[in-house]
Structure 1
């Protein structure tokens, strides 16, 4: 076997072996079964021996597979232990704090939530990523990030061992470009009926809440666009393509920054915000600073 052992391939093998099938491993890792099969083949080629016997649709570990699994158990258990120890250690020297934020979260709110981590120490280096909820939770599952920011709490629907840390919530404010605002008929929120509307995609909790509210209220806007990215949605809103909403705690920034008018405020729906980490009790200093400041200052 070559010296440059690929631990990513080993991790895929370990998840397949512990989950019992490639399909279940693919669900846990949020990647395709074809990708896992390809990585396993590369690992078996590197080792020079098969790791599984294919019995129908089932996988059965070979003798070599059982040997590799014993070592993999120790390797990844030690890796988890090291991660836990380092997360609880004081910051010494430059420390990289890696977060992934759901794309639909307003960037202004993400900044407000994360800014306390940078104030914690000049030696904290912030690495920000974003993406769909399933993708960023997958990154958390394999310890590629320290924290996930989202408006969708982790539930049993996601096969990820992690914990929700509730940060706070905000009412919604609705905006439109001045020309479109002048064309809306009636008072808010009735003016939204048959009005062009820009919305987050349905993977986000706030979209699901809006759909339920509009159905119950008998208000049915014309959906002109659905967006994974909040900044893109605001840009289309600024151009007059439709009414859009944002959390009320940033309504001043949105109104002035995008030159749009406030149509109204809706208190019947609140957008909740969560930090999700791999630890039940927050010990990572940067995560603790983020959670504390969000609860005590931003969403107070």
Structure 2
């Protein structure tokens, strides 16, 4: 092999990332037969198979794993170079497409994104919420510049992305003033049998909270599952149950929804991560979020 065919290498890389020729052909907008032929040509030039087919699945061979390792480095660097070139000229507003897991509290998401919004260069933010799996797929397809999630990605996911740990928070319990004052006495045993408002978006911290209740011998009465963090707090304000939220925004939650904090639970934490395609993002906004010193201060409102 006198010269490596980078287009063939790219096709192989996309097939590996997507997991099948059919899915890769959709992303590349090529016919599956064409892509299969290009793969066969590439394998012929290398003198060996890159995949083995087992029950309609493509399994990397030893040669395939070796080639994939180099391909990951080549195209990750190429992607970062492309993003760097895309940023010029510097006087243009910089578009930032961010994906935020639906289970992250909206106030927390605001604080995490804020470092990008206060840069000297103007940022045009396109923010979308959704499930972690869908957001990571869109990041891989370069539809998003960064994804904010509240769980550590799986081993397979971490192989495709760079993970940046962000500022997290312990979790607190809140309720209407009358209910909160009653439940502070004898906490946490006082929670037994009390109504609980749950987050329906599978927030990881909620499972940790349930485990903590179990360890404390506490059994609450689940009265509602709600996938909107603001609506949970409205229910809580009306005295319909106890709800959980990050301690970092407790002052804002209490002020905005006229509730009171029952207690902060140090053993239950809301962990937050920024996911990017490369370890050293070229995008100024992405870099600001990953490196930002987040300060969870109450939002200042100007008088009308």
**Deviation for aligned residue 1:178:** 3.4
2 CA distance for matches of 1:138 and 1:223? 33
* Count of residue pairs brought into register by the alignment: 256
Structure 2 matches for 1:31-110, cutoff 5 A?
36=23, 44=31, 58=56, 77=75, 80=79, 82-86=81-85, 91-110=90-109
User: Deviation digits for residues 120-147 of structure 1, max 9, x if unmatched?
Assistant: 0352111111112222122212121111
The corresponding residue for 2:292 is 293
Q: Which runs of 5+ in 2 are unaligned?
A: 1-10, 38-52, 59-70, 298-304
- Tell me the SS of whatever aligns to 1:188: coil
Structure 2 matches for 1:110-129, cutoff 5 A?
110-129=109-128
- Tell me the SS of whatever aligns to 1:120: coil
The corresponding residue for 2:274 is 275
2 CA distance for matches of 1:233 and 1:271? 17
- Tell me the SS of whatever aligns to 1:173: strand
Distance 1:116 1:155, change over 3 A: same
1 CA distance for matches of 2:116 and 2:133? 24
- Tell me the SS of whatever aligns to 2:240: coil
Structure 2 matches for 1:233-272, cutoff 5 A?
233-272=232-271
Does 2:207 align with 1:208? yes
User: Deviation digits for residues 218-261 of structure 1, max 9, x if unmatched?
Assistant: 11212223344423322332333321111111111101101112
The corresponding residue for 1:18 is 16
- Tell me the SS of whatever aligns to 1:80: helix
User: Deviation digits for residues 135-160 of structure 1, max 9, x if unmatched?
Assistant: 21222121211111122122315376
Distance 1:39 1:178, change over 3 A: same
Distance 1:160 1:15, change over 3 A: same
Distance 1:113 1:183, change over 3 A: same
Distance 1:81 1:184, change over 3 A: closer
2 CA distance for matches of 1:56 and 1:154? 27
Whether the 8 Å contact between 1:132 and 1:228 is mirrored in structure 2 is: no
**Deviation for aligned residue 1:184:** 4.5
Whether the 8 Å contact between 1:196 and 1:221 is mirrored in structure 2 is: yes
1 CA distance for matches of 2:201 and 2:184? 27
What is the TM-score normalised by the length of structure 2?
0.69
Distance 1:124 1:197, change over 3 A: same
Distance 1:237 1:90, change over 3 A: farther
